[in-house]
Structure 1
């Protein structure tokens, strides 16, 4: 089933439209908040915005399993969206009176809501699709992020040409209101499938609010894949930081060239999503996922030997295409788990990605600025090595399980 056929399902269409608007609204909110922080409090405030927004994701991912379990339902998520309508919608009138501390509190509130909504909604998304269509709906939702990543800044720039930055807060509040209505509607129509393998006397709190380490212990392949995802995104910052440095110091190009490269990366991401979403699901998730990450690492190494804008555009377009391929593979595999386990793993993954993002910004910019070629080669080689290690670790775990299972069978026969 392709994306267009999937969108003929009314539940999927409502969810996709609301999430598309929400993703655009998030772009508007980020731009308006950054602009407000810069205009009123200076450059240090922009760094504070980024850090404060990440903290709730870390806390919820590490300690919020019971909190998260309360919101893995569309009706509960509708309430979260409704609160954000009030908070974000009030910003145009509050920003002049609340000061930097007030702005930080607003960011913390919105960041907490996002830390709850992200994994909870991600866990519920496969339930809106027909059985067996987890890969397709995962790809469709990822396409929303890929497309708005390209279109969002341009749309915001067009709006800023005719509207003050403060009005973007109102547009974001409107998208939250649309999402709240959509979630209320979906709560009446989408039935969450029961978790398989439930033991009758099992502690209900452990089922509804599983610990991340317990889930990872039961699913070591996913644990290795999530670890690879976090390590890979850490080194992916080499491209984020290194591309503008490379263009200016090695190719002596300007901002227009940077715009061309970023556009190529976005177009590649959309094309890669469309391709990955329509290809058959690989029979061996581990091999496919590790190979995609190894290829992303190899492209970082190749980037270190580019000598013209055309070569840079080609490499970044291919790299952009591989990013959604990895996301769709991982999302499809996570969708095979019960909903509570999905939400817990997604929260842990998001927390890890935020940690990797902050850590990479402390280390990688200085390295790439001092030695761009070394930075790209080292980051790419480390990513390839991480892919190989994850593949080896999963293969070793599989062999141990294969050896343990016959032993258990013999023990059962004896008893």
Structure 2
């Protein structure tokens, strides 16, 4: 019911529908890129290379405060999505199953990653300006739902789609969804001319704010960002290790892979609906760290699962916890003033992507050597460090963030 009430606001409704479609196409793109490389080479290391190339711009652009602040408006995001549409459509035009085609794909993936690295933190920083301060938690949950819906629909049907079209054709679908998103963002930019539902770009400052100074004042946020990085590092095991695990242990192909991902997506959808009803009195950092602790246990469980039924159940359990983590942190960061919010979101994106890229580069070799053991090790690491983060955060005293004023 809370989601329905927010969707009665036309700007929220248009943005949510367009972002849902865009994320759906992006999920298809991600699955296509990973699966086509594994199907062509049988190498989890090359799968990790593709994902690492996409993540590289997130690391490089994390310190570009001035550049990031230049895109802090709806119209700028519309141009970015138009660029993403052009890049995504270029992939099926340039791809070929040889070294030249693989190099072209890496170049386009790198460019698409750069555009997305500019897009995501600015979008997340602007969304809270569409609603009143007391509705920030609900709108964070609503837009987290886009990823959950896309996971169920996109990941659930990828196995079926791959029976009727090539992986490369999925990139064309992704380009279409980016184009739709660009039109929606352009409309929102025209409707909110003069910054009626977003802070003027000048409010971000010509150079933004320094993330280090904000993190020193809010150490628990730093702890949460560190835990997020550990989680993304551990998640690399699932990204590159799930296909080999399903093939070697259960004899599954693309359909089994899609089933496991769909189970995660279905759990995420249910978890999103439950997250909106969590008691507001729960300490945010404790909720965040304990959710990642449980997620680590589910990840470790995949390494000892003895049937596809167990794999599906563990994927559902993992999916249930992801929205708790995402919405809890995003809601807390949304309480900061616009410039601080954008910087913290960028720092979180940079830290998590850096850790995730490190995992994608290092863990595939562990997966190739011991697929099951890599899941157990990564899960135990995530659970242990999440509990450590909870303990460290509890010993850190700090005041609340400056709450943003109503838009």
TM > 0.5 fold call: yes
The answer (yes or no) to whether the contact 1:228–1:386 under 8 Å persists in 2 is: yes
2: CA distance between counterparts of 1:286 and 1:73? 30
Q: Deviations over 1:280-299 (max 9, x none)?
A: 33441111111111222233
1: CA distance between counterparts of 2:35 and 2:244? 24
2: CA distance between counterparts of 1:28 and 1:271? 21
Q: Deviations over 1:117-153 (max 9, x none)?
A: 0111011112123331112221221111122123224
- Secondary structure at 1:295 match in 2: helix
The corresponding residue for 1:50 is 51
- Secondary structure at 1:132 match in 2: helix
Residue 357 (str. 1) matches residue 356 (str. 2): yes
Deviation at 1:173, TM superposition (A): 3.2
Cα gap change, 1:64 to 1:182, in 2 (>3 Å): same
The corresponding residue for 2:60 is 59
The answer (yes or no) to whether the contact 1:136–1:278 under 8 Å persists in 2 is: no
Q: Deviations over 1:240-283 (max 9, x none)?
A: 45555655666x55346555433322211111111112333344
Cα gap change, 1:49 to 1:387, in 2 (>3 Å): closer
Cα gap change, 1:271 to 1:53, in 2 (>3 Å): same
The corresponding residue for 2:73 is 73
1: CA distance between counterparts of 2:106 and 2:288? 38
Cα gap change, 1:382 to 1:104, in 2 (>3 Å): closer
Q: Larger deviation: 368-377 or 183-192?
A: 368-377
Residue 345 (str. 1) matches residue 344 (str. 2): yes
1: CA distance between counterparts of 2:78 and 2:271? 32
1: CA distance between counterparts of 2:153 and 2:7? 21
Cα gap change, 1:345 to 1:204, in 2 (>3 Å): closer
The answer (yes or no) to whether the contact 2:293–2:387 under 8 Å persists in 1 is: yes
Residue 322 (str. 1) matches residue 351 (str. 2): no
What pairs with 1:246-325 in structure 2 (closer than 5 Å)? 252=250, 254-255=252-253, 259-303=258-302, 306-325=305-324
1: CA distance between counterparts of 2:251 and 2:103? 40
The corresponding residue for 1:405 is none
The corresponding residue for 1:413 is none
Deviation at 1:327, TM superposition (A): 0.7
Q: Larger deviation: 220-229 or 293-302?
A: 293-302
The corresponding residue for 2:20 is 20
The corresponding residue for 2:405 is none
Cα gap change, 1:46 to 1:385, in 2 (>3 Å): closer
The corresponding residue for 2:2 is 2
Structure 2 residue runs without a partner (length 5+): 400-407
- Secondary structure at 1:279 match in 2: coil
The corresponding residue for 1:191 is 196
TM-score w.r.t. structure 1 length? 0.80
- CA RMSD, 1 decimal: 3.5
Deviation at 1:214, TM superposition (A): 1.8
The corresponding residue for 2:335 is 336
Structure 1 residue runs without a partner (length 5+): 403-415
The corresponding residue for 1:388 is 387
Q: Deviations over 1:372-399 (max 9, x none)?
A: 665444333322221222122222221x
What pairs with 1:208-227 in structure 2 (closer than 5 Å)? 209-227=208-226
- Secondary structure at 2:396 match in 1: helix
1: CA distance between counterparts of 2:42 and 2:310? 37
The equivalent position to 1:131 in structure 2, one of 133, 152, 161, is 133
Q: Alignment length, in residue pairs?
A: 389
2: CA distance between counterparts of 1:128 and 1:66? 24
The corresponding residue for 2:142 is 140
1: CA distance between counterparts of 2:330 and 2:7? 19
Deviation at 1:18, TM superposition (A): 0.8
Cα gap change, 1:176 to 1:193, in 2 (>3 Å): closer
The equivalent position to 2:123 in structure 1, one of 121, 124, 127, is 121
1: CA distance between counterparts of 2:336 and 2:215? 11
Q: Deviations over 1:176-233 (max 9, x none)?
A: 23222222222223634669xx9xxxx9445xx1122122112211110010111122
The corresponding residue for 1:235 is 234
Q: Larger deviation: 160-169 or 130-139?
A: 160-169
